[in-house]
Every structure is written in structure tokens, then in C-alpha cells.
């Protein structure tokens, strides 16, 4: 009588090993496919999130265009002045440069009215809070920085002065006026004016990066010197700005007269995924927003 030894035969072992390998391969394939799907979805979500965040930031800043600029006072000027133009001449369809007082540095002149300020003659203004300017600029002895002095010159007329800011204390601003409304030599304020800091912002696409810079020297009112630009978004393929007047007509910012009519700016940007998807594609996502700067609407309404 023959007996069979316990254990598995070679064929049984081979069958078990083959089955195990096949199941392992299936599990690995499913895991790898799921991993690629998750990665693709993550890249797509990151792309859309980047577009939304960057578009929102740009739109918020454009809505502040004209903040701190005496746009109301300039309505009484006989001629348009570059010194108070909100949109700068370096703006184009893929770049926007504009004046906006993002620091909100502002002070009220104190004392007893009236107040006379003479072009190119240094004067000292008593103010309620000069520290707002030194905080915004990080110095009490600025170079190449300017302020606007603006207010009423009669019951029905307003005027402005663009003045070089020489020194700052908590209660005084020393200034040298460089431009005035229609370049009159003397501005006679019948009521005490307001002083605001002139600031400017630049937003543009460089390579695949949207960058943001602020003005560091406003000596040239039409062409400021800019700070080193900060990155606000990567993997962008397009950034476009379209300018409109109060009637909804497209305006090219190629002349001072055209830029003075701008009351709306639409932006459109396109971003792509930071990597190639498992399908071999690198999809893009476009987003458009309409912005209506409140200060430019104020100019249009007066």
C-alpha cells in the first residue's frame, strides 16, 4: 500500500504563485491608476484655485484705482493733467499701472483757513496725523515721494496740488509743490485741505508668472520707478486687460485723453496645470472678471 507525503506539489505551488502574482499585478495596477487619477484631480483643482485667488486679488486692487488721488478736485480743471491721471501711460492690454493709495495714508491740515500754497516754494503744513505717512513710507525723510493737497477754493470750485514730500513729523509735513491745478502759481484754499499720499501699483505677466510691484519714486508722474516685483501667481499663459469708458465703449490707454475717460477695467487670465496629466495633456483654465473702480465712477458722475 502506497502513502502520499503531506505538502504541495510543484504544480500546486506554481499555480498558487501565478495566482498571487496575477492578483498583485491587478492590485498594483488599480492602485497606480487611482494614484494617477488623484494626482490629476489635484492638479486641476490647484489650477482653478490659483486662477480664482489671483483674479480676485487683481480685481480687488483695480477697484481701489484712484484711491487718494484728487479725482473730484480735478473735475474743475480746464485741461487734463498727467499728475492726477489714475491710469498711467505704461498700461497696455497685458499690463496695468495705476495710482491707488493702498496704504490709505491721509491727514487733515489743521489751523485756521484760508491757506495759500505757492508753486515751487517750500512750505510746512500742520496736520492732525503725520505718522500715517512715515509709517507707509518707512522713513521721515523720503526721497522721490509725493503727496496731494486738495480741497475747496470757493463755494463751487475745488483745486489740487501735487507736492514733493521733504520731511515728516507726527504733526507736520514739509512739502515743495511741483504741480497745481492748471499750473496756477498760487492755490488759495478757502477751507483747510486734505493731504493724501501718492502711490502707484503695477500688475503684469512676465513669462509664466503674474507679478505685482509698487512705485518707489514718483518724481516722473507718468513713469514711476518700481520696486522689485512680487510673485502673485505661477503657470499663467495669458493676462489681458480691457478698458472701457462710462458708455461701455472700449478705450485704448494710448493717450491721456483716453485714459481720463476710463471707468471700468475687465480682466481675463488663463492658467495651466503645474504638471502634465496622466493623459499626456496640460489643460488650461480661463477666468474673466469685471471691475468698476469706485473713484473712477466718481470722476464720471461729476
C-alpha distances (whole Å) from 122 to each of 83, 125, 129, 195, 225 are 19, 10, 20, 15, 24
Give the confidence band of 216 by pLDDT, cuts at 50, 70, 90.
very high
Q: What is the pLDDT of residue 235?
A: 97
**Is there a contact between 192 and 111 (Cβ–Cβ < 8 Å)?**
yes
Whether this prediction's pTM lies above 0.95 is answered by: no
Q: What's the whole-number mean pLDDT along residues 87-91? A: 97
**In terms of DSSP H, where are the helices of 83-187?**
131-137
Residue 96, preceding bond cis, omega within 30 degrees? Answer: no
Q: What is the pLDDT of residue 35?
A: 73
Task: Indicate whether 12 pLDDT > 80.
Answer: no
Task: Indicate whether 227 pLDDT > 70.
Answer: yes
Task: Return d(Cα 203, Cα 95) in angstroms, integer.
Answer: 6
Contacts 24+ apart (CB under 8 A), 224-232: 224/88, 224/97, 224/200, 225/144, 226/202, 229/202, 229/204, 232/54, 232/57, 232/58, 232/203
Give the confidence band of 265 by pLDDT, cuts at 50, 70, 90.
very high
Q: What is the pLDDT of residue 53?
A: 96
Task: Return d(Cα 210, Cα 287) in angstroms, integer.
Answer: 14
Domain ranges across the chain: 48-66+203-216+229-301, 106-197
Comparing CA positions, the residue from 165, 158, 79 lying closest to residue 125 is 165
Please identify which residue in the block is written with the cell numbers 484728487: 70
Task: Indicate whether 46 pLDDT > 70.
Answer: yes
Q: What's the whole-number mean pLDDT along residues 46-64? A: 96
**Is there a contact between 212 and 232 (Cβ–Cβ < 8 Å)?**
yes
Q: What percent of the chain has pLDDT over 70?
A: 91
**Is there a contact between 48 and 272 (Cβ–Cβ < 8 Å)?**
no
Q: What is the pLDDT of residue 278?
A: 86
How does the average pLDDT of the chain come out, rounded?
Answer: 91
Q: What is the pLDDT of residue 300?
A: 54
φ and ψ at residue 243, rounded to 5 degrees: -110, 140
Cβ neighbours of residue 60 closer than 8 Å, sequence gap 6 or more: none
Task: Indicate whether 302 pLDDT > 50.
Answer: no
Least confident of 29-33, 106-110, 113-117, 163-167: 29-33
Q: What is the pLDDT of residue 298?
A: 62
Count helices and strands in the chain by DSSP H and E runs: 5, 17
Task: Return d(Cα 199, Cα 66) in angstroms, integer.
Answer: 9
Residues in a beta bridge with 87: 98
Q: What's the whole-number mean pLDDT along residues 219-225? A: 96
Amino acid at each position: 500500500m502506497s502513502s502520499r507525503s503531506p505538502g504541495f506539489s510543484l504544480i500546486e505551488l506554481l499555480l498558487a504563485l501565478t495566482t498571487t502574482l496575477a492578483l498583485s499585478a491587478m492590485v498594483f495596477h488599480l492602485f497606480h491608476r487611482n494614484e494617477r487619477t488623484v494626482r490629476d484631480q489635484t492638479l486641476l483643482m490647484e489650477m482653478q484655485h490659483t486662477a480664482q485667488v489671483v483674479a480676485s486679488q487683481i480685481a480687488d486692487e483695480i477697484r481701489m484705482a484712484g484711491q487718494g488721488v484728487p479725482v473730484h478736485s480735478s473735475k474743475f480743471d480746464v485741461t487734463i493733467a498727467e499728475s492726477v491721471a489714475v491710469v498711467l501711460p505704461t498700461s497696455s492690454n497685458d499690463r496695468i499701472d495705476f495710482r491707488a493709495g493702498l496704504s490709505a495714508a491721509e491727514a487733515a491740515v489743521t489751523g485756521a483757513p484760508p491757506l495759500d500754497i505757492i508753486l515751487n516754494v517750500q512750505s510746512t503744513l500742520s496736520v492732525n496725523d503725520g505718522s500715517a505717512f512715515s509709517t507707509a513710507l518707512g522713513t521721515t525723510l523720503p526721497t522721490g515721494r509725493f503727496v496731494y493737497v486738495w480741497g475747496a477754493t470757493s463755494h463751487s470750485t475745488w483745486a489740487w496740488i501735487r507736492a514733493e514730500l521733504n520731511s515728516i513729523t507726527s504733526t507736520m509735513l514739509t512739502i515743495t509743490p511741483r504741480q497745481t491745478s492748471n499750473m496756477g502759481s498760487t492755490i488759495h484754499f478757502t477751507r483747510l485741505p486734505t493731504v493724501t499720499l501718492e502711490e502707484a501699483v503695477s500688475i503684469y505677466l512676465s513669462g509664466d508668472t503674474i507679478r505685482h510691484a509698487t512705485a518707489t519714486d514718483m518724481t516722473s508722474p507718468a513713469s514711476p520707478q518700481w520696486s522689485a516685483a512680487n510673485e502673485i501667481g505661477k503657470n499663467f499663459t495669458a493676462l489681458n486687460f480691457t478698458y472701457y469708458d462710462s458708455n461701455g465703449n472700449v478705450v485704448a490707454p494710448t493717450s491721456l485723453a483716453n485714459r481720463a475717460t476710463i471707468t471700468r477695467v475687465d480682466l481675463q487670465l488663463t492658467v495651466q496645470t503645474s504638471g502634465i496629466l496622466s493623459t499626456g495633456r496640460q489643460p488650461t483654465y480661463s477666468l474673466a472678471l469685471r471691475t468698476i473702480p469706485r473713484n473712477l465712477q466718481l470722476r464720471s458722475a461729476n
